[in-house]
Structure formats: structure tokens, C-alpha cells
Amino acid sequence: MNTTAISSNIQVITGNAAAAIAAKLARPDVVAAYPITPQTEVIEQISSFHASGDMDCELITVEGENSAMNAVMAASLAGGRVFTASSSWGLVFMYDAVLATAGARAPVVMVNVNRETPGIIAVSSGQQDMISTRDAGWIFLIAENCQEIMDLVLQSYRLAEDYDIQLPVMVHYDGFFLSYLSEGVEIPAQETVDQFLSVLASQPKRTVLRPGEKLGVGTHGILGGYMELRHKHVTAMERSKAKI
């Protein structure tokens, strides 16, 4: 990201705070998420931004993670920019909606704060939640420090909403380590992020759901039609490498 023209600032913040601030800078239209350790701080900070008026979005306080993913998938298919976050068993609870979001090619951006999901319900760092959704059809980006969390969330929007890609993107980082680790993070100015994402406006408009207009979404893919859709999905994932 080119930040030379417009100033940015460095703040000592947690990885979760970096994710929340990045989401705010991306100006999403709809945010829906449910708290779960160690992701809770992300949605707490977003809720604070929303309450103070610093984040102008529709914040949906859902009753669970499955509703959160369904809400952002629907909002994305209607043309909105969206954000959600979860972890561990929360990701398990939204699993069917995670698959549906990928199949619909909805450009959802999500943060997953890695936490183990074995049968003993461990509150422990680990990446089993990420691995369980590895083949769901999402693009995965994995952060190694707090700065990368900031950068990858912002880059995810440009990647997911690219007309040639149109796939959901999940940003992963280790819970209990990066989630709560405080580091100096360079936070780009709002104008810088707006400029970075403005290239999307010059691309062809993707097809979206509109009231009164007929459009099939979530219909059955059968035989050759299904194979065609899966082929287009995997080729979009291959194209994303050059975009990244």
C-alpha cells in the first residue's frame, strides 16, 4: 500500500484492535458478528466505534455465529461491503453458511482468530479451526504479526471485491498470541485506504440482488452446470495469486 502521499500514524495496539481498526477504515456497510474468545475484542471495539459514530455501518447483533455469516452473505449478495469475525467453535457453528458463502461467490471479508476445536473444547491456541475450513472455497491469508493483520484485512477487500475474483477472504491469526499481543502498528490515514480501495469503483459492476428483479441465488447445481461453477470457482482462486 502506498502511504507516502498521505500521512499515517503508529500506535501500540493489540492484534484484535488492528483487525477492528482495519475493518473501520474499509467502511463496510454491514457488520455482523458474535463474541467468542479470543475474538471478542474485535467485535467489542467495532461496537464501540459504531456507538461513538466513528463507524457508519449497519451493526447486526446476532444470536449466534451462523446468523452472522448468513447476514453478511446476504448483504454482500445485495451489493454491500461486509465484515465479520469469529474463532474456534464459532467457525464450526457457521460452517454450513461458510460453505454457502463460498458457493455464492460472495466477497465477504472475515477475521478468524485461531483457536483449537478438539472434542475437549480447549481454550488453547491452535489452528484446527482454520484447517477444518481450508477446503471450503475461501481465500486464506495468514498474518504473522499485528501489522500484517492491519494490512491483510485492508488488502482482503481489494481482493474479494475484484471483479475477476469475487470470492470470500478469511484473514487468520493466532489467538492468545497475536490477538492479545501489543505491537507498534502503522495505521494508514482514511484517505489512504479510500484511495487504495477506489480502484474497485472503475471495474465492471458485479451482479447483485435487487428488489423486484429476478435473479436466482442458492439454486441447485446439477451435473454439467455444477462442474462449470466449480471450475470457474477454482480458476478464480488461481487468478487471485497474481492479484495478491
Question: In this predicted structure, what is the pLDDT of residue 4?
Answer: 43
The pTM (predicted TM-score) of the whole model is: 0.92
Give the closest residue to 187 by CA, choosing from 5, 38, 25, 55. Answer: 25
Helix, strand, coil percent values for the chain (each to nearest 5): 45, 15, 40
3-state secondary structure (DSSP) of residue 162: coil
The amino acid occupying position 25 is L
Set out the domains of the chain in order of their start, with CATH numbers.
8-191+218-243 (3.40.50.970)
Region 168-196: mean pLDDT is 97
Mean pLDDT of the chain: 93
Q: How confident is the model at residue 7 (pLDDT cuts 50, 70, 90)?
A: low
Per-residue pLDDT reduced to its tens digit, 76-119? 999 999 999 999 999 999 999 999 999 999 999 999 999 999 77
Backbone Cα Rg of the chain: 17
The Cα 93–Cα 188 span in angstroms is 34
Residue 24 phi, psi (nearest 5): -60, -45
Backbone angles phi, psi at 192, to 5 degrees: -65, -45
Instruction: Output DSSP code: residue 61.
Output: -
Quote the CA–CA distance of 14 and 176 in Å, as a whole number. Answer: 11
* pLDDT value for 197: 97
Residue 3 predicted with pLDDT over 70: no
